[in-house]
Amino acid sequence: MTGVGLIGQTGVRSFEDLRARCRVFAEHLRDNGFAPGDRVAIQGGNSIGYVIALLTLLHSDATLVLLEEDQSAEETAAILRRAPVRWLLHDGSVELPAEVAGFRLRLSELEREASPAPAGFELDLTKWWQRSHAVEVWPAGAKEAVIRAGGTVRFAVRRAQQRAGYKDTDVLLPLLPFSHPYGLVLLLLWWFSRSSAVVLPADRLDLAVEAITRMNVTVVDGTPAASQGLCRLLELRPVRAATLRSVRRWCVEGVPLRERPGRNSATPITSLNRDGKDDMRALPAHAVNSTGSVRSLAKPEPTSAAVPLPSRVAALRAVETFLDERRDEVLAILCEVSNHRTAVGELETAIRTLRGAEAEVTAHQPRLIGSAAVFMPSNIPLYAYVLYVLVPSLYCERVTFRPSAHIQSQLTRLHELLAKVHGLPVTLAASTQRQFTTGPVAGAELVLFTGTYANAERIRGQISEQQLFLYFGQGINPVVVGPDADVDLAVADAVDIRLINSGQDCFGPDVMFVHSSVRERFLDLLGKRIDELVFGSYDDPRADYGCMYYDQAFGFALEYLHRNSGHIVHGGQVELRARRLQPTVLCRELTRRSSYEELFAPIFNVVSYDDLDALHETLTTPFFEERAMGAMVYGNLPSTVELLARRHDVYQNTTLLSTDNGNEPFGGLGMLANYVAIGGRRIAEPLLVSKAVADHLKPPAGLARRATA
């Protein structure tokens, strides 16, 4: 079955009709001298013509230059002078000087009737997927474009499809401009799923509500601002709950809202009933009255009584707002230790975790504790500050933290910046580890440690058995690729997760087990993807990776590559002065003598296997089981998934990043990966601080759960 195609304000365009119009436009481009790689700018509002233009340009292997609809003529002209284009497709709303583009065409012209496309004509994006400079997005006010490769867009499309599961029976309602970076992804999701899509002006949320009710929309997807705007509109204009029941997925930029509770930029609109359908009588933001209509909440919901220190919820909300409004200031600090792409992800994750903090604490109900002491990690300064300092402040009267020497300057400045906003009793201890251990740690009920297992054990040996000690370590996080795996997806995911912060992150997989039948294709695609990567400074938003920040990690990586140089099959170039290490691929056969190491570097260790039993034997050795955290499996390998799931958090055909949620427990059952210690016992389990406190730190007799002041 196939959806109807596009549903616009002027009518419906079937897939066959769209193919015909794309064919006509492609011929027009070719007849006027278009060549693959030519730069084509598009500026206009959402329309069927805009969709036809995008699809045709991808089929023709163009470099897209996406301009925002509301950019002024002066700003648009300035962009096109800095980034010249041959073609300009527009809706006529902006008058531009003649010299900024040689060929111009109104988007409305593309909607003219066309004869049917010849039999066998299909849009083919194969060449565009391989283009390294495939699309430029020029946000309003930007001095430089955000540049994406075709392979990056393809990966984003697959990731969004995995999350939302689009079907040909779906009716999609985009709530964003098609010029938005996610707009292209959303349109390609619609095209490849052969579903139906409603095309409306991006700023007409009133029409969106009408479309949902009249066209049986099943998936609503858009920007955080649009989702929040829709929520506000529903408060102001009550509608009957039954009119929204057709929607099975409410998403924010591809992420289903229920998938990451508390981590999204808009609140979930619905929850599931026992049949797995949206339960419209469980609307959290819009109460339903006895007639089934949505009514506005006159006042915001009070903070939960389950939060031990409820007055502090407002402080966390203030930090959330500050981070959202002062992004550039915060990113300037983060980009000193992380590349821009990683820093943006860290900022977004921190904001979402703050947004979900109250719900997290309400769900787990930790008791009130007097003080906590935190040994901070050597990376992710902002996210760690939120996870281990701010969220615990909802149930810890005092929190004292000690920065890692690697990022002490950055974390100190972040704390000074945010402390003025939250005003909480949070103290930065600029002391030695010994002073911190004999001081704040000795008097704390809760001690958090992130670092090496050996250091964790040394600290644990110096504290009381009555203190709750949480150890956050690292795992091997293996990737397993089966003979029937989607190799393109596996490679895209491998690059995505291995190159977080240029390879310097504990989520990165230290080994990738690839079946011999797909090994050559895996290595070939991996090498091509690496060659497409953009190297740049940490503050360059276009860069996929940068120099290594950590001297010790760089040294370990060089030593490892020197010892294993005979296995290098791609990359390996090094610039010592700049600490630049080209992403490097090593490949070897699986044997019982194979050894594995934990590396914080852009190194891809590929191990080829033939025998599944031999692979399982390796995965159940003490080395892997003691470091069990996350694992990723591609292809149909049920026995491997079952085996890994005994100790690992297993992800099938996706990465650990797909459900990374700062308000939920994470980890496996490896003692060297993470554990809880109290009463002389160590327990390896997935960790979330609030849950660990609730589960393991019981209140003394007569102690109140909640603060009275």
So what's the pLDDT on residue 66? Answer: 87
Q: Residue 407, Cβ neighbours under 10 Å: how many?
A: 24
Name the CATH superfamily for 478-652: Aldehyde Dehydrogenase; Chain A, domain 2 (3.40.309.10)
Helix, strand, coil in percent for the chain, rounding step 5: 40, 20, 40
So what's the pLDDT on residue 701? Answer: 54
So what's the pLDDT on residue 210? Answer: 83
288, pLDDT greater than 70: no
So what's the pLDDT on residue 659? Answer: 64
107, pLDDT greater than 90: no
Question: Could you tell me the CA-to-CA distances from 706 to 363, 542, 656, 699 in Å, in that order?
Answer: 15, 48, 35, 11
Rounded to an integer, what distance in angstroms lies between the CA atom of residue 222 and that of residue 212? 14
So what's the pLDDT on residue 12? Answer: 86
318, pLDDT greater than 60: yes
So what's the pLDDT on residue 97? Answer: 65
So what's the pLDDT on residue 259? Answer: 39
Q: What is the DSSP string of 96-108?
A: --GGGEEEEEEGG
Q: Could you read off the pLDDT of 594-609 as tens digits, one per residue? A: 889 989 999 999 999 9
So what's the pLDDT on residue 297? Answer: 34
So what's the pLDDT on residue 94? Answer: 64
Q: Could you read off the pLDDT of 689-709 as tens digits, one per residue? A: 999 999 999 776 554 444 433
So what's the pLDDT on residue 691? Answer: 94
So what's the pLDDT on residue 277? Answer: 33
Mean pLDDT in residue range 566-584? 95
Mean pLDDT in residue range 645-653? 91
| More confident call, 294 vs 484 | 484
119, pLDDT greater than 90: no
So what's the pLDDT on residue 118? Answer: 67
Q: Is 487 within 8 Å of 481 (Cβ atoms)?
A: yes
- The CA-to-CA distance between both ends of the chain, in Å, stands at 62
Question: Could you tell me the CA-to-CA distances from 516 to 187, 513, 565, 609 in Å, in that order?
Answer: 36, 9, 21, 6
263, pLDDT greater than 50: no
Mean pLDDT in residue range 69-76? 78
So what's the pLDDT on residue 133? Answer: 84
So what's the pLDDT on residue 578? Answer: 92
Q: Is 488 within 8 Å of 525 (Cβ atoms)?
A: yes
SS3 582: coil
Q: Residue 203, Cβ neighbours under 10 Å: how many?
A: 16
103, pLDDT greater than 90: no
Rounded to an integer, what distance in angstroms lies between the CA atom of residue 316 and that of residue 358? 9
Rounded to an integer, what distance in angstroms lies between the CA atom of residue 178 and that of residue 174? 9
Rounded to an integer, what distance in angstroms lies between the CA atom of residue 234 and that of residue 252? 17
So what's the pLDDT on residue 296? Answer: 35
Rounded to an integer, what distance in angstroms lies between the CA atom of residue 705 and that of residue 550? 43
So what's the pLDDT on residue 227? Answer: 76
Give me 259's structure tokens: 């998938």
Q: What is the DSSP string of 317-330?
A: HHHHHHHHH-HHHH
| More confident call, 356 vs 287 | 356
Give the pTM: 0.63
- 3-class secondary structure for 626-677? HCCCEEEEECCCHHHHHHHHCCCEEEECCCHHHHCCCCCCECCCCCCCEEEE
- Please tell me if the domain spanning 14-148 has the same topology as the one spanning 151-256: yes
Q: Could you read off the pLDDT of 655-683 as tens digits, one per residue? A: 887 667 899 899 999 999 999 999 999 99
647, pLDDT greater than 90: yes
So what's the pLDDT on residue 224? Answer: 76
Mean pLDDT in residue range 105-109? 80
- 3-class secondary structure for 382-403? HHHHHHHHHHHHHCEEEEEEEC
Rounded to an integer, what distance in angstroms lies between the CA atom of residue 679 and that of residue 691? 17
Please state which CATH class domain 14-148 belongs to.
alpha beta
Residue 616 amino acid letter: H
Q: Could you read off the pLDDT of 265-283 as tens digits, one per residue? A: 333 333 333 233 333 333 3
Please state which CATH class domain 309-472 belongs to.
alpha beta
Q: Which residues pair with 575 in a beta bridge?
A: 580
Of 353, 334, 336, the closest CA to residue 344 belongs to: 334
| Poorest-pLDDT segment among 201-205, 389-393, 527-531, 657-661 | 657-661
Instruction: Kindly list the domain boundaries of the chain, sorted by start residue.
Output: 14-148, 151-256, 309-472, 478-652
299, pLDDT greater than 60: no
| DSSP secondary structure code for residue 441 in this structure | I
The owner of tokens 């003219």 is 112
Mean pLDDT in residue range 210-226? 84
Q: What is the mean pLDDT of the chain?
A: 85
Q: Is 500 within 8 Å of 342 (Cβ atoms)?
A: yes
Mean pLDDT in residue range 435-455? 95
Q: Domain 151-256, CATH 3.40.50.980 — does that match?
A: yes
So what's the pLDDT on residue 96? Answer: 67
So what's the pLDDT on residue 560? Answer: 95
So what's the pLDDT on residue 180? Answer: 84
Q: Is 424 within 8 Å of 390 (Cβ atoms)?
A: yes
